[in-house]
Structure formats: structure tokens, C-alpha cells
Chains A and B, each alone.
Chain A
Amino acid sequence: MKDVVVIIPAFNEEGSIGGLVKELADACPGVPALVICDGASDRTALVAREAGATVLDLPCNLGVGGAVQAGFQYALANGYQLAIRIDGDGQHPPSEIPTLLKAARESDADLVIGSRFSSAGLHTTLFRFFGIKMLAVFLSIICRRRVTDPTSGFWAVKRPLLQYFAREYPVDYPEPEAIALLCRLGYTFTEAGVQFRARQAGQSSIHGWGTVYYALKVGFALVVDRVRVLNKGLSRRYTVEWT
């Protein structure tokens, strides 16, 4: 699996990142791990490097969108055909990566989303569950295609889509927006059922009033994305040619 890289955005995750990188090496031997340290104030970069990962150490905090985009740029520049993106808090188990890889190899979609709702066993609160479901319905209508887990960050991204994401990627809570945008540019996606687990350290960045802000921000962004001026030069027709 020389053409696959695993992208892990991490912000102050020194407690879990080392274990995650080692777990990854066990689950998918030979697959390089790329940890993007998003301007963290703790020893995330150091711990990840010691665990054997390549580290992109961002000089300032860009938010998860900017961090993941840096990872996509790395994957593109270093000639990888496929980038797997998992969270740094350990809620996406590396043991599920082969499932995602298999789905990516079998399907000709540009993006495979690991969905926690396509299979049994989910780790989330009831409130958040309904929020995600509402977002899923909304996004499904926009994309004219069924989306069950729009907020999942467990992705497999193929090279044509990497070309697009390396140039343009949403900022704050990027996943639902990115899905809506890639649909408009002619890329396709599919879902694969995977098992999530509870985060191993730290706290979700979205809690309390943040949930309301998240819903409003993402809802507004999705509406704007419908009419956003897009760079047609980054649509699938062209990026497939470059690749």
C-alpha cells in the first residue's frame, strides 16, 4: 500500500496521539502516518514524531479545516493516490481503515465517508444524534443523494478530489460543506459503514452553546455554498485529466 497516506489533524492531543500512531502501524503496516499539529501548545508534534509519524507542524492555529487541507497538500505533493483522514482524538479506530480502503478500491467514487449510522453501535448524545440527522436530511436534499453521517471526519479521498481540496477547502466545520461543494463540482461520494468509538482523551470542540452555533453556522454555510462562485477549473472533468 505504497500509495496511501493517513492524515491525522491534531490539536493538543499529546495524551492520545502517540497511542493512535502506534495502533495505526499495527493495524495497517507500511502505511505512513501524517500528523498535522495545528499550532498546538503542548507536545503533540514531539510525541507524534517519536511514535514514528511524519509531522506537519503548523506555525499557528488554523482550525481543523486548514490543518486537514495542509495534509491534503502534502499527500498531493508527495504523489499519494489516496488519503485517509481520521481524527486525532482516537474516535476513528485504525482497525476500521481496511474497511474504508476496501470500499474505496471497489467503488469509483472520489470520496468514501465512514458512516457510524450505516452500522450498529454509535457513540453520541441523543441531542446531537437528532442534530446530525437533520443535517443529513438537508444535505441529502442538496446533493440529491443519501448522506447518513455528514459530520463524520473518517474519510478516504482519491487523488482527483485531493487536487480540489488542496486548493480550496472550507474553514470552520468543514465536512458537511465540503460534501456539498464537491457535489457541485461533479465529484461523487459513497458511504461505508464503520464502527466509531468514544474519544480517548480531551473533549469535543462542539458542546453546550457550541452545538447551537455549529448548527447555525453550518446551515448558513450550506445555503451560501449553493450560490457560491466556484472555480470551474477545479471541477472533476479537469482534475481527472491532470491526474
Chain B
Amino acid sequence: MNAVKTMQGWVDAIVAPLGPMGARVLFVAIAVFLLVTMVLAVRANRIHVFRSVILIALSLFFAALAWDLRLLLELNRITFLGRIRLLMGVLSFVVLLVTFEAVRRAHLRERYALLWMSTGLILLLCAIFTDVLDFFCALFGMQYVTFVVAVIFTFLLLVAFHFSIALSRLSDDRARLAQRCANLEARVEELEKQHRRVEP
């Protein structure tokens, strides 16, 4: 609860000295700054769609704050559980977006992306459907947060295991390639020797 009070303190600290009007001006300024930055970056071709979407969302958020300051207070009143859901939602979006980007740029194969994608989706589901989760929490005797951590942990474990298997297969392939390569090299040398014998 202390933390919430501190938050309240922060909000007061921003709004009180500026007055409601000043705070609005500040938020509008931030929103405009973000938008201008984005537009400039897009014109200079320095930014991707993916990042510009995030910037637009942020500037819209600040614009909404400037429109109605009560939103700030509403935000402040979000419960503990709500904050965690919000955090999880953002986290899952980040995981999904990063995975998608990596696949799109061919840094990551689709088959490896599948597990990451499902991790992100499960996180998202955890954030949206708290009722279903409550059932599982009761079943396993866990708190909501503990359960979420357990789910994340399980998926990370799966991903790590997946990597171990992939790594073992890769090192097997590497051995086959090296052996074949060395054998072919020896064969080439032998053929060269015979060739030299035939036409010196």
C-alpha cells in the first residue's frame, strides 16, 4: 500500500505545481514531441512500421491524458491484480512482436518460433482470462501470480530443452560434415598423386 501512496505522491507532484492546465500542456507537448519524432524518422526512412506503431500508441496515450486528467487518477486506482495483468499483457505483446519480427527478418526459423509464440500467447491468455486461471489456481493451490510465474517457467524450460535437442543434432551433423570433408580431401590428394604419376 505504501507503494501506491508513493505513486499518488508522484502524480500529485506532477499535477499540483503545474495546475491542471499546466499538466495538460505538458502532456500535449509530450504527445506532439513523440509524433514529430516519429514523422521525422519515417521521412528519413530510419524507422520500421513496428516501432512507429508503438510511438503512435504512446503519443495517443499522452493525448488522452491531456484530454481528460481524470484518466491519470483512474490509472492510479487500478488494483494490484490489474497492474499485473497490464504488465503481463504488455510483456506478451513484446514477446509476440519480437518473435514475429525475428521470423520476418529470418533471424529465427519458424519451427523454433512456435514455442516462443505459444509462450507469448499463453501469457496473453493469462492476462485476459483471469477466471479460467482462478480455476487452475484453486486446483494447484497457488496464488494467481505464482501460477503465472509457474506457467512462464514451464515454457522457458520447454524452450531450453528444445534448444538442447537442436544443439545435439547440430553437433552430430557437424561431425558428419567434418568427417566427410576430411575423407574427400584425402581422396583428392590421392587422385592428385596419381595424376602427377601419369603426366609429370
Contacts and interface: CB of A to CB of B under 8 A. Distances in A.
Contacts of B178: 39, 58-60, 62, 66, 70
A171 B186 CA distance: 23
Nearest to B187: A77
A59 B175 contact: no
Interface in B103-161: none
A62 B175 contact: yes
A190 interface: no
Q: Which range holds the interface residue count of chain B?
A: 10 to 19
Contacts of A56: 182-183, 185-186
A59 B181 contact: yes
B186 A69 contact: no
B174 interface: yes
Contacts of B190: 54
B179 interface: yes
Contacts of A100: none
B183 A66 contact: no
A192 interface: no
Contacts of B183: 56, 70, 73-74, 77
A84 to B, nearest CB: 18
A57 B188 CA distance: 12
Nearest to A171: B175
A60 B178 CA distance: 7
A222 interface: no
Interface string A152-186: 00000000000000000001000000000000000
Contacts of A39: 178
A56 B179 CA distance: 8
Q: Which of B179, B181, B185, B189 is packed against the most chain A CB atoms within 10 Å?
A: B179
Contacts of B174: 60, 62
B186 A74 contact: yes
Contacts of B185: 56-57
B179 to A, nearest CB: 4
Interface of B: 174-175, 178-183, 185-186, 189-190
10 contacts: A54-B186, A56-B183, A58-B181, A59-B181, A60-B178, A62-B178, A69-B175, A70-B182, A70-B183, A73-B180
